[in-house]
Amino acid sequence: MNPFRRSKQARFSGSLLTIDSLGFVGSYARSSDGAYAVGWDSESGVVVLCQGKSLLASGRGRYPLQGAVADCGTYALVFKGRGESASETVRVFNKSGTPIVTARFATNVYTLSLSSSGSFLACQLCSGDIALLSTADGSTVWEVPTNPAGRHRELAEGLEIDEQNGWVAGRLGTGGTPFRINMAGEHLDARAIADGLLEDARRSPNGLALFYLVRERLDQGEACSLEPAVEQLVELLDESLRIGFEGYPEFEAKAHRAIGEVHERMGQLAEAVRSYETALEKDPKVGIQRRMASLRKRLEDTST
């Protein structure tokens, strides 16, 4: 991009920014104090930076998709990758339009935010991770999952960098559960996130969301040493079965298999066998024949 200064006037109407002398009409984002606005038009590739209604810089890039601007006028834009790749590039510019940081991501960027000073850039990636970068040298401060529980992908809305308190904040899931990640990349609200995701899953029209939450915990080996926690996993799987798996009948067998796994980890072998038998009745290809045969053998050995 080769920005240049002009005393053009900008007009803001709803979600659109217009600069008649440039023939520019595009989306825009404002700084938190309202002093600056960065605008972009994906079709033409034109990007602009305004202070108040005055144009400070303009230029052109390949498929600008979204932007953010700091209170100091530093701004960032997301550009689409080439070809069919899902990769995208984030570029950060000073208020004169000079590029200062380039960061490439292998996946799409869902949303981005600049700190008010322009010192940090946060990107929510469609992989489910959030990345925090320093705009001083483009280094990655951290990249962590939005969902601290693990692989269950979640995307954050309203991403904000709070330098004063030292965290990145946002809202997660359909219920808008607030969360904070400190500058060391540590989640400060892991319990609230887990509770919020659970409530979201319970409001789902089918049992898939509940099943996946429990399946993830089982795969990670979490909460299987304390009786109340394990009992809750069985209750949640029972709840997923009550809600039902409309359109996904194979998950009924998978849910019974998961119930069997919980019982097995607790040493409740007879209960595990009964759940596995139910799973096989629902779907003979659920994949637990050998496991169940081994459990039956163990039960026979203990009874003799």
Closest C-alpha to 163, from 94, 90, 91, 114: 114
- Domain CATH code at residue 144: 2.130.10.10
Kindly tell me if the per-residue pLDDT of 175 is higher than 70: no
Of the three residues 189, 219, 249, the one that is the final residue of a domain is: 189
Residue 173 and residue 216 share a domain: no
Enter the tokens of residue 159.
């991403």
Residue 39 lies in a domain: yes
Residue 196 lies in a domain: no
The per-residue pLDDT for range 95-142, each reduced to its tens digit, is: 999 999 999 999 999 999 999 999 999 999 999 999 999 999 999 999
Of the three residues 189, 212, 227, the one that is the final residue of a domain is: 189
Residue 5 lies in a domain: no
User: How many residues appear in the chain?
Assistant: 304
Residue 215 and residue 184 share a domain: no
Question: Are residues 180 and 144 in contact, defined by beta-carbon separation less than 8 angstroms?
Answer: no
Residue 253 and residue 137 share a domain: no
Residue 232 lies in a domain: yes
Residue 243 and residue 157 share a domain: no
Enter the tokens of residue 101.
């940081």
Domain of 237, in residue numbers: 204-303
Per-residue confidence (pLDDT) for residue 73, from 0 to 100: 97
Average pLDDT over residues 34-47: 96
Residue 184 and residue 208 share a domain: no
Residue 166 lies in a domain: yes
Residue 64 and residue 39 share a domain: yes
Number of domains comprising the chain:
2
